[in-house]
């Protein structure tokens, strides 16, 4: 009897030691550092779900609305000699492509990358897109927005975000590639001469329209839905280029090269590129559009309605040169 009790005691002691070791291992494991340009109100829920499901910890760094995508990308470049970030969750594609071209991203063709269509992923596995937004013209019901391709009329009731950052920079880069430097510069000068209102970010555009300080503006679908949910009397149509194609801008995720152990980071990347994450972002207030295969019965009807326009999106893969030239020109105007 004493032998049995002794054995049981040993087993309990071994079990307790195992639990203590696992607890110590969990506490000593460094968190996955994420630089995130997506809105914290939506990203936090996704990252907390990952923590709960995986048992891994995430330390997230956000940036401001006005500079977030470009600011975080520039931070990654400055830290290149000693990277501080494991995963970059960007809210657009071009800055991520630029990091890939500079050799700062670690290729990974995991399960998440495989489920994303080739049009929305890097063929070398350096990044992949998910949960897209569309560029739209938001306007008050009953207001006919002006045509901005050949601006002639007063634009003091039309608003756009300063085009240095994010999806507005992507919008400008597409125009720059199509029109070239001189025509784009002349067009932008005409907009300012005609009184266009420049806001600090897409949410600023939405707010100006909601407050009645502007009749219309260029923004993204997530900001449009935010206005709609707040009861604003607004509607929106996809922005279209002169060739008729839309501007569909995915979130992107990438691993940063040079981090010592990225096994946990790979798990997070696969999680962000999963069906469950795309459905969760589609069901969120931002109503983002899934890019990989999903069960459409789980999608809100507003998101299903956006999918045809998203499928008409202009390809963004070859915009690197145009983006850099466009950004250099815009910095000469806005950054003193």
Query: Which of 73, 105, 79, 113 lies closest to 91, judged by CA?
Result: 73
Q: What is the CA radius of gyration of the chain?
A: 23
A 10 A CB-CB count for 76 gives: 23
Q: What are phi and psi of 102, to 5 degrees?
A: -85, 0
Q: For residues 154 and 132, what is the distance between their CA atoms, to the nearest angstrom? A: 32
pLDDT > 90 in the chain, percent: 84
Average pLDDT over residues 210-223: 97
Task: Round to whole Å and give the CA distance between 295 and 304.
Answer: 11
pTM of the model: 0.87
Which residues have a Cβ under 8 Å from the Cβ of 248 and sit 6 or more positions away?
Answer: 132, 133, 134, 289, 309, 310, 311, 312, 313, 314
The residue ranking higher by pLDDT, 28 or 306, is 306
Would 30-132+249-311 and 134-247+322-334 be classified into the same CATH topology?
yes
Q: Are 63 and 236 in contact (CB under 8 A)?
A: no
CB proximity list for 306: less than 8 A, separation 6 or greater: 134, 221, 287, 289
Per residue in 75-124, pLDDT (tens digit) is: 999 999 999 999 999 999 999 999 999 999 999 999 999 999 999 999 99
Match domain 30-132+249-311 to its CATH number in 3.40.190.10, 1.10.8.60, 3.40.50.1820, 3.40.50.300: 3.40.190.10
Q: Helix %, strand %, coil % for the chain, to 5?
A: 50, 20, 35
Token pair belonging to 287: 């109503």
Structural domain boundaries in the chain: 30-132+249-311, 134-247+322-334
Q: How far apart are CA 319 and CA 322, in angstroms?
A: 5
Burial label, 108 (beta-carbon count in 10 A; 0-12, 13-18, 19+): buried
Class of domain 134-247+322-334: alpha beta
Which pLDDT tens digit goes with each residue over 226-282?
999 999 999 999 999 999 999 999 999 999 999 987 899 999 999 999 999 999 999
DSSP 164-178: TSHHHHHHHHHHHHH
């Amino acid at each position: 009897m004493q032998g049995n009790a002794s054995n049981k005691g040993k087993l309990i002691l071994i079990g307790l030691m195992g639990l203590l070791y696992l607890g110590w291992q969990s506490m000593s494991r460094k968190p996955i550092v994420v630089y995130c340009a997506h809105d914290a109100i939506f990203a936090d829920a996704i990252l907390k779900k990952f923590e709960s499901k995986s048992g891994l910890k995430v330390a997230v760094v956000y940036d401001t609305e006005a500079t977030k995508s470009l600011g975080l990308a520039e931070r990654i470049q400055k830290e290149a000699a000693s990277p501080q970030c494991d995963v970059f969750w960007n809210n657009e594609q071009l800055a991520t492509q630029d990091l890939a071209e500079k050799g700062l991203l670690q290729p990974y063709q995991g399960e998440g990358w495989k489920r994303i269509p080739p049009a929305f992923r890097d063929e070398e596995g350096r990044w992949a897109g998910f949960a897209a937004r569309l560029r739209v013209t938001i306007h008050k019901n009953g207001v006919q927005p002006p045509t901005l391709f050949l601006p002639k009329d007063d634009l003091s009731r039309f608003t756009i975000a300063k085009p240095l950052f994010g999806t507005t920079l992507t919008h400008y880069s597409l125009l720059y590639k199509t029109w070239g430097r001189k025509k784009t510069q002349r067009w932008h000068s005409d907009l300012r001469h005609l009184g266009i209102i420049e806001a600090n970010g897409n949410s600023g555009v939405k707010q100006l329209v909601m407050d009645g300080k502007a009749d219309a503006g260029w923004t993204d679908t997530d900001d449009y839905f935010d206005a709609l949910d707040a009861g604003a009397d607004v509607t929106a149509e996809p922005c279209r280029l002169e060739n008729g194609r839309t501007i569909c801008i995915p979130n992107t995720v990438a691993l940063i090269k040079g981090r010592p152990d990225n096994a946990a980071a790979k798990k997070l990347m696969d999680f962000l590129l999963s069906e469950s994450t795309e459905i969760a972002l589609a069901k969120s207030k931002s109503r983002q559009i899934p890019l990989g295969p999903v069960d459409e019965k789980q999608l809100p009807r507003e998101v299903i309605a956006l999918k045809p326009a998203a499928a008409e999106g202009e390809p963004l893969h070859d915009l690197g040169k145009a983006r850099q030239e466009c950004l250099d020109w815009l910095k000469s105007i806005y950054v003193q």
